[in-house]
Chain A
Amino acid sequence: MSNLGLFFAILGAALAALIAGAGSARGVGMAGQAAAGVVTDQPDMFGRVLILQLLPGTQGIYGLLIAFVAMNNLGIMSGNPEVSCSLLKGLAYLGACLPMAIVGYISAINQAKAAVASIALVSKRPDQFGKSMLFPAMVETYAIFALLISILALNGVGAIG
């Protein structure tokens, strides 16, 4: 039982990459369907709708980032895992990863909905591209906040003995 700390810590890192990544996968997929529909009729819109499609993809990257920071702090990347990680510390790692995992998932999907609407907007009003990017970007704010809290928490967890 004394070694469970490391398990929970890795579970946290895995969840950040897994849940946030799954959200982005769904989100980018949704936006991609809408984008492909627009390109059927307006091939010259490709560049613009591609950018809009990419917007819900950042949560997956943030999740990867958190997973990486956690694994790096645990010494897994350097092949020297911190086996003696206490249960408290491991659970703290898990907790630190959760904001990114959960907010990442939910914000990716909702950002994708906004992106789909923006793709429809751009297909009818190509000149409104600048504004259309803003609506999905509003949703991303909360993913960024979650990323920030997860990073700060991960940095703090290292101090636990």
Chain B
Amino acid sequence: MAVLPMKRVLIAGLRKNRKQMLELLQRQGVMEIEIRKNSTDEEADPVFQQIDTTGIRATFEKNITLANQSLAVLDAVTPPESADGGLFSGRTRMSLTDYETNTKKREKIMDMVFDIHALEKRRNEIAAEIPKTESQLEALVPWMELPYPLDFAGTKSTKTFLGTLPNDVPEETVLAGIDSESVAVDIISHSGEQTCVAVTCMKEEAEAVEEALRRMSFARPAVSGDVPAKQKEALSMKLERLAGEDENLKKKIAAYAPRRDEIRFIADYFRLRSDKYEVIGGLEQTDRVFLVRGFVAAKNAQSLENLLTTRFDCVVELSDPAEDEEVPVALQNNGYAAPVEGVIASYAMPGKGEIDPTFLASIFYYFLFGMMLSDAAYGLIMVLGVAVVLKKYKDTIEPGMRKTLTMFQYAGVGTIFWGVMFGSYFGDLPAVILKTFFHTEIGSLALWCEPAVEPMTVLGFAFIIGIIHIFVGMGALAYTDIKQGKALDALYDVGFWYLLLIGAIGILLNTDMVGGMFGLHLNLPDGVMMVFKVLALVGAAGIVLFGGRESSNWGLRIGKGLYALYGISSYLSDILSYSRLLALGLATGVISSVFNSMAAMVAAPPVIGPILFAVIVVVGHVLNLAINALGAYVHTNRLEYVEFFGKFYNGGGKPFEPFTENTKHYRVSE
């Protein structure tokens, strides 16, 4: 249960070894490297310079994007057989020799990436061309019967107007509208919206006819060119050709599917290089020497030094970080507590001088989670399910995922414990099965009590858990204060509150109202009550006197002290918040029994009855487990973050981020 001690590292190496040394550091993944901002000041260091690597990194990043895009294209054309990097499977291991062999093929792989890209680009063009051609075909339809080209303007002495009139207009109306003897009107096609006409007249009358047509809202056709039938043929052939080409392109892309892994590799390869060049850009270098500064966990420091000095001509200097330095924070915990580290990390890493709260949080985590889910069968499913996943992917699973899964496994153990205490195995399924199919009644299976039958007992217990949780949190604040040499703060901020809270709880439990609610009629002797009263008064007085101790003005100080005393209301609401332990536990149990009784209702008919029963039970419990496990997870986090951490933990530390292989598909190891 601790924050890992860190060492400062300074490595001075030769420029010619830079690539190998950085790659070694990257593969080891134990050192966080300081990346210096490029300094453009006048007074730049006369000895060490920095290299600008933004240009080359941009190229790498572009290649990564291209590779990822071609992977997506490939996946769309031929879906991968097994989802690479599924939720649990983690990255595939790659040996250093394989890595180097693959690296030599990078030009070829990039050629493939570019090719896939070009093929996809052409496919996109085709995808845009097809609807365009189809709409051209569509526009030709009304003109299909026209035997001559759409561009036809007339003969030597005649003029032909091709176009559309709005609405369905009969030939006579058109003729009447033009009002001329020597005019021929051909209706090419007509529909409700428009009529396509060819109007032919003598050249001399052309202007008059055109004018007459315009009055009828004559419009030029949207299409032009050759004879419509010929055009249609050409367009249909074009469509066929495009479809064929697309099919062809698809086949070409699909042919690359067996080389999918190479593209995955190249994406990772450029990720590694891009990260490396980010580091290079932040290093101080001369013509022959480069410096790497950073942090390494003290336990890894010696082995890193040995590794570097045996392989390369270099100097490794380890030192303790300065007092006022911001040291990155990594956590180290025992096997029981470590799985909860992720929960701590997603809140905040411990700040300077703070303790690592992981162990304290883990003591309660599995317990609280278990009480909220509280079903032995659900717990068993979680324990076994995680065990199966961890076994299946034991070689490749990422450490973070392993921790999260293990956390749920341990939380499953807590769930089994509480399920046994409350007698819940898929809710009341055993009783329902016995009653429905064997007509036998059994009593409660609970080792302790059923929350639905004795809710007040469990509620009282939930409050006790809450009080212990909060007291431990306050104790952690006192411990931190004492460790930092502020023992008096521990007394003022924690000690007095302990006195007040213990006294107040004692007094409240002896009253008829609160004690009676939980079926307690303590009637404590007056002497004991006196002790509680004294404790409460001393605590309250201490808080009033010292709660505002940072003010030198006594009036202000007492005022602030009184306000601090008002904080007791927040303790009350904190403790009440633990009633969710009962409420969520009840929710799991009652929803289980809803599904169980629904199943029992349909179980009567022979053969089909038991089948329906099984289906409802399975579906219902899968749903219930999913929803309530989510609820238990969220609300356990809430109790830890708000009620528990609120008492002593601020966080604010910078997480340790070692220079490592930040890849997606492969992990290269020596």
Using a CB–CB cutoff of 8 Å, the interface residues on chain A facing chain B are 47, 51, 54-55, 57-58, 61-62, 64-65, 68-69, 77, 127-131, 133-134, 137-138, 140-141, 144-145, 147-148, 151-152, 155
Once the chains bind, are B455 and A137 in contact (CB under 8 Å)? no
Q: Which of B542-578 contact A (CB under 8 A)?
A: 576-577
| Min distance, Cβ B580 to any Cβ of chain A, angstroms | 5
Q: Which residue, A47, A129, A134, has most C-beta atoms of chain B within 10 A?
A: A134
Residues of A within 8 A of B577 (CB): 141
Residues of A within 8 A of B642 (CB): 134, 138
Q: How far is the CA of A147 from the CA of B642 in the complex (A)?
A: 21
Given contacts A64-B591, A137-B634, A152-B456, contact A131 B597 (CB under 8 A): no
Once the chains bind, are B594 and A68 in contact (CB under 8 Å)? yes
Which residue in A61, A141, A155 is a CB contact (below 8 Å) of B587?
A61
Once the chains bind, are A58 and B627 in contact (CB under 8 Å)? yes
Which residue in B342, B347, B627 is a CB contact (below 8 Å) of A57?
B627
Given contacts A58-B627, A128-B346, A144-B635, 17 further A-B contacts (CB under 8 A): A58-B587, A64-B594, A77-B597, A127-B346, A130-B342, A130-B345, A130-B347, A130-B637, A134-B637, A134-B638, A137-B635, A141-B580, A144-B580, A148-B583, A151-B455, A151-B583, A152-B455
B630 an interface residue at 8 Å Cβ cutoff? yes
Q: Which residue, A55, A65, A127, has most C-beta atoms of chain B within 10 A?
A: A65
Once the chains bind, are B587 and A147 in contact (CB under 8 Å)? yes
10 A-B pairs with the lowest CB-CB distances in the bound complex, closest first? A130-B346, A144-B583, A144-B580, A148-B583, A137-B634, A65-B590, A147-B583, A137-B638, A68-B594, A148-B579
Once the chains bind, are B591 and A65 in contact (CB under 8 Å)? yes
Residue of B nearest to A150 (CB): B583
Residues of B within 8 A of A141 (CB): 577, 580, 638
Majority SS at the chain B contact face: helix
Using a CB–CB cutoff of 8 Å, the interface residues on chain B facing chain A are 87, 342-343, 345-347, 452, 455-456, 459, 576-577, 579-580, 582-584, 586-587, 590-591, 593-594, 597, 627, 630-631, 634-635, 637-638, 641-642
Once the chains bind, are B637 and A133 in contact (CB under 8 Å)? yes
Q: How far is the CA of A62 from the CA of B588 in the complex (A)?
A: 10
Q: How far is the CA of A45 from the CA of B542 in the complex (A)?
A: 51
Residues of B within 8 A of A55 (CB): 634
Q: How far is the CA of A47 from the CA of B86 in the complex (A)?
A: 13
Q: Which residue, A54, A133, A138, A144, has most C-beta atoms of chain B within 10 A?
A: A144
| Min distance, Cβ B644 to any Cβ of chain A, angstroms | 13
Which residue in B87, B343, B455, B587 is a CB contact (below 8 Å) of A62?
B587
Given contacts A68-B594, A130-B346, A148-B582, contact A61 B627 (CB under 8 A): yes
Residue of B nearest to A136 (CB): B634
Given contacts A134-B641, A137-B638, contact A61 B591 (CB under 8 A): yes
Residues of B within 8 A of A134 (CB): 634, 637-638, 641-642
Residue of A nearest to B579 (CB): A148
Residues of B within 8 A of A47 (CB): 87
Residues of B within 8 A of A77 (CB): 597
Given contacts A51-B630, A68-B594, A152-B455, contact A131 B582 (CB under 8 A): no
Once the chains bind, are A130 and B343 in contact (CB under 8 Å)? yes
| Min distance, Cβ A145 to any Cβ of chain B, angstroms | 7
Residues of B within 8 A of A131 (CB): 346-347
Given contacts A51-B630, A144-B579, contact A155 B584 (CB under 8 A): no
| Min distance, Cβ B461 to any Cβ of chain A, angstroms | 14
Once the chains bind, are A144 and B346 in contact (CB under 8 Å)? no
Residues of A within 8 A of B627 (CB): 54, 57-58, 61
| Min distance, Cβ A51 to any Cβ of chain B, angstroms | 6
Which residue in A68, A128, A140 is a CB contact (below 8 Å) of B590?
A68
Residues of B within 8 A of A148 (CB): 459, 579, 582-583
Q: How far is the CA of A152 from the CA of B453 in the complex (A)?
A: 10
| Min distance, Cβ B642 to any Cβ of chain A, angstroms | 8
Once the chains bind, are A151 and B586 in contact (CB under 8 Å)? yes
Residue of B nearest to A77 (CB): B597
Q: How far is the CA of A129 from the CA of B634 in the complex (A)?
A: 11
Question: Can you name 13 A-B pairs with beta carbons within 8 Å?
Answer: A61-B627, A69-B590, A128-B346, A130-B345, A130-B346, A134-B634, A134-B638, A137-B638, A138-B638, A144-B579, A144-B584, A145-B579, A151-B455
